[in-house]
Structure formats: structure tokens, C-alpha cells
Structure 1
Amino acid sequence: MAAMIGNVLEYYDFIVYAFLAATLARNFFQGDKYGGLLASFAAFGVGFLARPVGGAIIGRIADVHGRRAALLITIFGMAVGTAGIGLLPTYATAGALAPALLVFLRLVQGLAAGGEWGSATSFIVESAPPGKRGFYGGMGQASIAASSLASSVVATIVSASFTADQLDAWAWRLPFLFGGILLPIGLYMRRNIVETPAFTQAQENLEQVERTSKSAALGMMSKAFGFTIIWTVSYYVMLSYMPTFLGKYAGLSTTQALMSNSIALAVLVAATPFFGALSDRIGRKPLLIGCCVGFLLFSYVLFRVVLGGASFGAILAIQIFFNLFIAAFSGAGPSALCELFPTYGRTTLMSIGYSLSTAIFGGFAPFISTWLIGVTGSPIAPAFYLTAAAIVSGIVISTFRETARERLR
């Protein structure tokens, strides 16, 4: 519960930026037209560039000094970075210094987030009873989806409670400042957690551990990198970028777009543990491959429906449909990745592979989607990005052996 609640607090801080991208573009990048929105999403993506570094540094701390130490560091870094954004001066007040400070705080958030996922996921999966790693890993991933839901709900409430002028003037700060008060809650939840049995046993038997060669470690990280592409692209296109996309190209108001996103996210939160438990019964690969096939077959068709003047109800149904595929991947994904790596180096190696992929393909997914639309002149372009990601990850996952019934190494 400590790791799950920490995930909610941490990723709320990180994701809320994407939901307010257009407002931030007006306050820090002189407008929400193509150039300003592109700059705002670039700043969003910059935070992800720090994630592999954070994954390597904090992941190493987790593997040497324990998961608890890493989880305390990440909760502190994320809350400080988010509250700082809420206190920043805007471009109208500080000129070019304002976007520079925004980028700096995004880097602080990125360092913390880079270590959070690997540390929390390792902690949760290693703590799971036999035969329930998928369910526990799915619960952990559901907590991350819950943080997206919390971000979306807060952004929806703020958008509905204030006028557009008030939102641009000062109300945009409220969701970020809320992240600051989460720090003491997160520290309290994590200060008394104990190390996992798998980590404790690995530390006791370090002399007997057969070390992984550099080439083998690189191979495992490469698999984690390719594995994560569709996961992170679908997550950040369908969840973080979608409110902006729906408002700009599907004719929904800001409040409608955020409300639709929130409802679909609630389905994702509820479904992810179910798919995690299902992966314990039928294996990880059927669900992972099924997600890739789903995005391959349906991305273009359903984006075309959304852009064809679909009603709010139809758009909501499409978002829920896509979120069920994400839930299938998110349920099986954490345990499948953990099972790929040995315990003594799990957090470091997994965090680097996962964070690199997330930094390149996920963090810049809103930027890439916006850029593709600008280059092609067609708002259908993000569907091609999803399709390409599904093909690459599907090929990588097909090379995995089934590990659902194997013991952690």
C-alpha cells in the first residue's frame, strides 16, 4: 500500500502538466497556437530526458541500499519539483527566465520519476505471494493510472470552476501547488516499509550470485526498451495528449475532454488488476501480444471515427475501448518485466531500459503527435504513431519466454 499510494502521489505530480499544456503554453511560451503548444509539449518531454539518469542513479541505490531508501528519495524530488512549478513567475513577469525555470523543474521531476517506477515495481512484485505477482504488479500499475485519474479530475474541477481568464491568470497554479502538500503524506507512508524477501535474500547471498555479463545485461535492457514502446506511447497518447487532441480537433470543450478522459481512466484503474490476475492464470504473453494487435488493428479506424464528428458518447466509448487494451498490457507488464531481470540488479537494469524507452517514445508522444499533425497536415497522424509502436513491441514480446510460473531469479 505504501508503494501504491506513493505511485499515486508521484505520478499525479508528473502527469498534471500534460493536462494543462495549453494553459502553460499561454503563460510560458506566448500562445497556444502550433508553435507555443509545441514548445509546451517539448518542456513536458524534457522531464523524460532525465528519467534514464534518475533510473540509473536511484535504481543503483535501490539495488545496493534497498528499495526503501530509493522510494523516500523519489517522493521528495517529485513533490518539490511540482510545487515549484506552481510558484513560478510567468513569461509576462520574468521573460525568458520563466520557461528556463520551468524546464529545470521538469528535469527535477524527471530524475525522481526515473527512479520511482523501477523501485516501486520491484518492491511490489518482490513482495507478492507465490502465484500472484501479476495481480500485485497490476495493482501497482493501477495506482499509476489512478494518479492519471486524479490529475484529470483535478484539472476538470479547476477548468469547470474558473473562467478561462481566471485559469490563465492564476487558477492553473492550484493543481501544482496541491502536489506540494502530498510530500508529508508520502514520506509518512514510506518511512516504515521493510525490504522485500527477495532483496534480503539476494543481499545475504551476494558472494554466491552468478554475475550477469555486460552483453547479457545490455540484451535484457534492450528487451525492456522494446517491450515498453507500445506501453508508453499508448499511455501518453491516449491519456496525457488526448484531452488536448479532443479539444483541438474533435470539437469538445476543455471540460468535456477532461471529463471523458477521467471516465475512461476510471475504467483503466478498475480493469488493470483484473488483467494482472488473469496473467497469473493464462500467462503474460497472451495479454501483451493482444494489446499490440489491438492497437495495430483499431488505431486508424477509431481515430477516423473521432475526427468524423463523433458525439461525446461515441468518443467516450472509443477511449474506454482503447483503455482496456492498455489495462491488459499494464496488468501483465510489471511482473513480466521484473521476471526478466535478476534480483540483485533488477531495479537498475529495468529502470534504465524502461526509462530510456519512456523518455524517447512516451515523454515526447504529445510533441511527436503535434509535430506529425503539423508535418502531414492531418490530425489522423497520431494513429500511425500508435500503429508503428505496436508493431515494434509486438515483435520484441514475441521473443520473450513465458515466465508467469517461474520463480524470481
Structure 2
Amino acid sequence: MDYSATPQPARPDALGRQNASAAAQGAAPAERMHHAKAIAAITLGNGLEFFDFTIYSFFATVIGKLYFPVEGQLAQLMLAVGTFGVGFIMRPVGGVVLGAYADRAGRKAAMSLTLWLMTLGSALIAFAPTYAAIGLAAPLLVILARLVQGFALGGEIGASTSLLLEYGSDKTRGFYGSWQFVSQGLNTVCGSLLGVALAAWLSTDALESWGWRVPFVIGMAMGPIGIYIRRHLDETLPGIEDGTLETPTAEVPAPQPVRKLFRDYSRVITMGVLTTIGGTAANYIVLFYLSTYAIRILHLPMSSALWAAWAAAVVTVICSPFAGALSDRVGRKRVLCVSRVLLIAAVYPAFMIINAAPTVPVLLSVVAGLAVLVAFTAVPNIVMLPEMFPRAIRATGMSIVYCLGVSIFGGFAQFFATWLIQISGNHLAPAWYLIGCGLVSLLPLPWMRETAGRAID
């Protein structure tokens, strides 16, 4: 009998390989879908926190008038944007405390706590009586709220960015980490659109009476939504599952992450802070301050000037994933260095153009062009920071480095820009600030190691 045409049973090893191949093919789309949901959950939750924090900037002119009744519009604005910067003072504290908590109890637990704290800060601002009602207690309430929000955001940035990177691979961490910056852009898109709508629909009296409070009430209400969305994320810190410390099978959380960081990684922290200065100054001037600048310096109506923040945010949302993917292909340092040099070269001519032709189309065009460079310089920067630390102390390290760099040079960027205008009488003075920060931030790059495409754990 001829058995040549009879199907032969597959050998065990061949069958195993066939089954493994089929399982891998089936698992890959499922894993990609799982990661896509995780990115969406992290991005949305992070965006809600930044919405609560940054909406203050869009209404700085109104808040300055209601809570800081000093003589002169520029003086009111300085106090209002100074209070915006106060929130950044607590970021390093929040980064240390909540970052260490994220490295012990897990990323999910820390991110839920930061959302509750951010909700509390928004509630304080939303319902704070004005200076006319309670006097000095009014600005003190606003300052307290900003301190709470700054503390919360200091812990959020390290936990959420670490979680994004830990979902990615050695070849995709830049793309995954870029969604941190996307979330910041999305919150600015929503905040600026809401500001434009309120300024267009409400009278000046209504806006100053109650309209400016609406975004803070919305932000307060969205906190529990963000917490619910994040409940279904997978924890990436080994030995932590659903907030319960189990017997770890791999790396265990560092028992003293802060002490270990400053003992073993002080040089890395210094270089990371210096590098962050340039990106954060550009981010807060281009995305937030230019709309206020357009109102006070260029004398454009608020309903028109807020479109500048919207345009900048939309551009950063679109460009950030491309910046992250490019940094995966050609390296973080190369993308960061080239884009930052171009930004330094472009910023002074940009301010000259909008002052020479202070119209909405010119403002939007200039802001959009700067925002492209901001995205390509900020994304590789924010991705490099957590990559410099091992997993057990990553959230703490990222929080400390980022918050130290952002606290002064980002949080008070608007204050410094306004102060430079006041003391010099030159409307181009904010460009000097960006150029100085950009040059300083390039100094440590030659000594920083390239992290793209390399294992970090």
C-alpha cells in the first residue's frame, strides 16, 4: 500500500512551533489593542490633570483684576501669572513624595491620588470669593489651590510618563512617551476652545462675574471620570498588582528611592534639569503666554487671542507622535539638538513679526510654526528623562528632574517675560528669555548617553 499520499501527523516539535506561531499572530493584534487602550487611558487622565492646572493661564487677565486689585494692568498681570508660577513651587515636593509613592505602591495608585488632589485644587479656585468679598483671604485661597495643584501634578508627571514608557519596547518608547506631550496639548486645545467660547458668548460683566469659574467647575467634575478610566490599566511595577504588594519575582521597588537617587544619580539629575530648562520655557511661552501677550501687548481681543493657544496646542498634538517616532529611529539627542537650535534661531524673528503686524492671521501662523519646533524639542526631552533611571526609582527620578527644571523656568516663564517687558520697555523681551534658556539647555547634551533603541531595564 502506498502511504505517500496519506497525511502524516506533525512531529511534536513542528506542531509546537506551529501552535506558538499561531498564538503569536493572534496575540500581536490583541496586545496592540491593549496598548492602544492603555495609551488612551493614560493620555486622557493626564490631560484632565493638565486641564485643571493650565486653564488658570487662559483667564489670568480676569483673575488678576478680581483677586489682585493693584494699580496698572501690567502689575495685575504680573501678580496673576506669578500666582500661576506659585503652583510650580510645590512640583518638586510632589515629585519627591508622590514619585516615591509611585515607586512603592505602583503607578496606578499614585495617578489616582494625584487626580483627587487636582480636583480639590480646582474646587478651591472655582468657589473662591473675590478680593471685593473677603479681602486678602481671596488671593490666599487662590495661592493655596495652586500649591495643591502643583503638588499633585509633580507626582503625576513621573508616574504617567514612566507607565507610558514601560508599555513600549526598546524600539517604540519614544512614540509611547510622546503621548505625555499629546495629553498636555489636548488639554490646551479644550481649555482654549472653552475660553474662546466663553469670551465670545458672554458679556465682559458676565465673564468676570461667573463665566471664568465654569472651566474650573468642569475640571473639578472630570476628576472622578479620570480615576474611573484608569482603574483598568495594568500595573508595570514588578511585585505590585491592584495596589497589593506581592512576592516579587523580578526587580523590587527601592526601599529609599529618594536617598538612592541623590546618592547615585546626582550627575544624571543635574544634566536632566539643565536639558529640561529649554523645552519647558518654550512650551509655556508658546502654548500659554503668547495668548496673554496678544491681549495685553498686541491689544487683540480675548476671543481672538485665545486662538493662538488653540493653534499651538493642535500643532503639538499632531506633531508629537511623529517627533517621538523620529527619535526612536535617529536618536533622542539628534532630534532634540537640531530642533532646539532651530527654535533658538526662530524665536526673535517670530516676536518681531507679530509686533510688526499684530493681526490674528499673522499671530496664528507664527505660533503654529514655533509649536512645530516646540513639539520636536520637548518630546525627546521628556522621553529621555525617565529612561535615565532604573525601573525601581524611575517615577521618582523623572518627577524630581522634570519638576526642578519646570518649577522655575517653566512655571515663572510668563512672570519673567512680563517682568522683562516692564523693566526694559521692549516688547521683544520674552524672546531673550527663550534664547537664554535654550542655550543653557544645550550645554549637557554632549555628556548625556543616547537611550533610543537600547534596553533600559
Q: Give TM-score, length-normalised by structure 2.
A: 0.86
Superposed, which structure 2 residues align to 1:184-333 within 5 Å?
184-196=224-236, 204-206=249-251, 214-333=262-381
Letter of the structure 2 residue corresponding to residue 311 of structure 1: T
Any gaps of 5 or more consecutive residues in structure 1?
none
| Matched residue, 2:384 | 336
> Are 1:156 and 1:259, in contact at CA under 8 Å, matched by a contact in 2?
yes
Kindly indicate whether the alpha-carbon contact (under 8 Å) linking 1:203 and 1:344 is maintained by their aligned counterparts in 2: no
Percent identical pairs in the alignment equals: 35
Q: Among residues 172, 182, 185, which one is paired with 1:145 in the alignment? A: 185
* Structure 1 residue 202: Cα displacement: 12
> For the residues of structure 1 that align with 2:454 and 2:409, how far apart are their CA atoms?
30
- Unmatched 5+ stretches in structure 2: 1-39, 241-245
Residues 221-244 of structure 1 deviation map (CA, whole Å, 9 limit, x = unaligned): 112211110111011111111111
Work out whether residues 312 and 367 of structure 2, in 8 Å CA contact, stay in contact via their aligned partners in 1.
yes
Matching residue of 1:408: 456
State the match for 2:197 in structure 1: 157
1:183 is matched with: 223
- Indicate the structure whose relative CO is greater, using CA pairs within 8 Å and at least 6 residues apart: 1
Q: Name the larger-Rg structure.
A: 2
How far has the Cα of 1:260 moved from its partner?
Answer: 2.7
Deviates more, 1:347-356 or 1:97-106: 347-356
8 Å CA contact 1:199–1:344 kept in 2: the answer is: no
Separation in 2, partners of 1:242, 1:306 = 10
Distance 1:121 1:203 in 2: 23
- Aligned residue among 420, 434, 440 for 1:372: 420
Does the 8 Å contact 1:83/1:178 carry over to 2?
Answer: no
Q: 398-407 vs 57-66, which deviates more?
A: 398-407
Partners of 1:377 and 1:50 in 2: CA distance: 32
The CA RMSD measured in Å over matched residues stands at 2.0
1:23 equivalent to 2:62? Answer yes
Q: What is the CA-CA distance between 1:203 and the residue it aligns to?
A: 5.2
8 Å contact from structure 1 (residues 277, 331) kept in 2: no
Partner of 2:78: 38
Shift of 1:198: 6.4
- Amino acid across the alignment from 1:223: M
Question: Once structures 1 and 2 are overlaid, which stretch shifts more, 116-125 or 194-203?
Answer: 194-203
The answer on whether the counterparts of 1:202 and 1:343 sit within 8 Å (CA) in structure 2 is: no
Structure 2 vs 1, CA of residues 163 and 216 (structure 1 numbering), >3 Å: closer, same or farther? same
Residues 266-307 of structure 1: CA deviation (Å, up to 9, x unaligned):
111011011111111111111110222022211111111111
Distance of 2:293 and 2:405 partners within structure 1: 23
Residues 135, 331 of structure 1: 8 Å contact kept: no
Distance between the aligned counterparts of 2:277 and 2:247, measured in 1? 30
Q: 181-190 or 255-264, which moves further after superposition?
A: 255-264
Instruction: List per-residue Cα deviations over 1:169-193 (Å, max 9, x = no partner).
Output: 1111101111111012011011232
In structure 1, give the amino acid aligned to 2:44: I
Check whether the contact 1:88–1:101 (CA below 8 A) recurs between aligned residues.
yes
Aligned length: 409
Structure 1 residues 324-352: Cα deviation after superposition (integer angstroms, max 9, x where no partner):
01111233223211211111111112211
Q: Would the aligned equivalents of 2:386 and 2:397 in 1 still touch at CA under 8 Å? A: no
Q: Which residue of 2 aligns with 1:14?
A: 53
Residue type at the aligned position of 2:45: G
- Match of 2:210, SS state, is helix
The aligned counterpart of 1:93 is 133
Contact kept, 8 Å, 1:63 with 1:347, in 2: the verdict is yes
Aligned partner of 1:338: which letter?
P
